[in-house]
Amino acid sequence: MERTQELFKKASQRLQELSSLPAIREDKNIPQMLEEKGIERRDFMKWAGAMTAMLSLPATFTPLTAKAAELADRLPVIWLHMAECTGCSESLLRTDGPGIDSLIFDYISLEYHETVMAAAGWQAEHNLEHAIEKYKGRYVLMVEGGIPAGSSEFYLTVGPHGTTGAEHARHASANAAAIFAIGSCSSFGGVQAARPNPTNAQPLSKVTNKPVINVPGCPPSEKNIVGNVLHFILFGTLPSVDAFNRPMWAYGLRIHDLCERRGRFDAGEFVQEFGDEGAKKGYCLYKVGCKGPYTFNNCSKLRFNQHTSWPVQAGHGCIGCSEPDFWDTMGPFEEPVANRLYATAFDGLGADKTADKIGITLLAATAVGVAAHAVLSMMVKDKENN
Ligand code: SF4
Ligand code: F3S
């Protein structure tokens, strides 16, 4: 209780300090933006309540979360693009009915973002330098994409001076107040780092020596991106993280723990092939390759496309997109891990590939356990049916 009160006091003080700073963008404020989009204050407060719960804070923090969202324009953000498909930005920007999360993203003072800014070439480069200089030590840096590194840095050059992506990332990291690697490419290297990784693409954390918070996913949900911004506004500190530097509030639980088909898994009711009777009845997708038991993310709670659906709800198993090296370690995507368990136990499943041996043992045991359960529950089920 004392700890909660302390936290509440700390966040209140920080918000008060931020309120005294001038708004970076004076043309917009949250109440006006909500009104323009036809969103009622009540819905905004409901959203703030959900965000508070998502950040694992008590409900009493809801007014503070709402206030933090209103103060998002005090926070300069620099967003860099590296080797990537831009899907993480697109997932936030390309919505036909912008929700409150995209609205907050719009409201954040995006001082530099190559996809949305009008400037190009020399002007863009000048804008970046200007933002880094003007907001030295105050800006939040978000980086999307894997980064060719070492002797392969030249595979990615940006801007009229042909600066390498790695140089850009290092330069912008040097004076950032907080750094977030947005998406699996920036967090773990992504598809361009998949074997044989011809451009030696690396995660942001291998390019800078500053602390990096990973927000993986292909793409990560908008709430996982906006939630980190709100957390930083509220506390001015980085969130607590797991072994892969992912915020615990977002990546603390497995897909399998939160899945709506979990009851089917426990009951041994599996889809055997896509389009069969089990698929129509919403059975568990483990046997057609779902990697939910080995993947840490909150997709089933947050969902995508204006929070309407997520992979498992749409009928395809999770492919483990928020785990390190998932392109190499989670495939084949439509086959269960049990099919190749022994071949990969030493090479490492995505989540097994941790430096920490306890993690390896635990997750290998989980993989064996999950596979064994799938087989056992099927046998029980078959017996019941005969
Ligand atoms: Fe859900 Fe996949 Fe786990 Fe089945 S295996 S319960 S579909 S997460
Ligand atoms: Fe990715 Fe699995 Fe979620 S594939 S989007 S972590 S359900």
Are both 300 and 155 inside the same structural domain?
no
What distance in Å separates the CA atoms of residue 47 and residue 351, rounded to the nearest whole number? 32
Q: Note the pLDDT tens digit of each residue in 195-252.
A: 999 999 999 999 999 999 999 999 998 889 989 989 999 999 999 999 999 999 999 9
Residue 106: predicted pLDDT: 73
Are both 76 and 217 inside the same structural domain?
yes
Closest ligand 2 atom to the C-alpha of 221? 5
Are both 113 and 177 inside the same structural domain?
yes
Q: How far is the CA of 336 from the centre of ligand 2 (A)?
A: 15
Q: What is the total count of domains within the chain? A: 2
Ligand nearest to the CA of 373: 1
**Which domain-ending residue is among 250, 280, 300?**
250
Closest ligand 2 atom to the C-alpha of 291? 2
Q: Is the CB of 374 under 6 A from ligand 1?
A: no
Stated pTM of the model: 0.86
Q: Is the CB of 89 under 6 A from ligand 2?
A: no
pLDDT at residue 13 is higher than 50: yes
Instruction: Work out the percent of the chain whose per-residue pLDDT is above 70.
Output: 85
Q: Say which CATH number the domain at 343 has.
A: 4.10.480.10
Confidence of residue 370 (pLDDT cuts 50, 70, 90): low
pLDDT at residue 386 is higher than 50: no
Domain that holds residue 190: 2-250
Q: Say which CATH number the domain at 191 has.
A: 3.40.50.700
Residue 206: predicted pLDDT: 97
| Residue scoring higher pLDDT (104 or 373) | 104
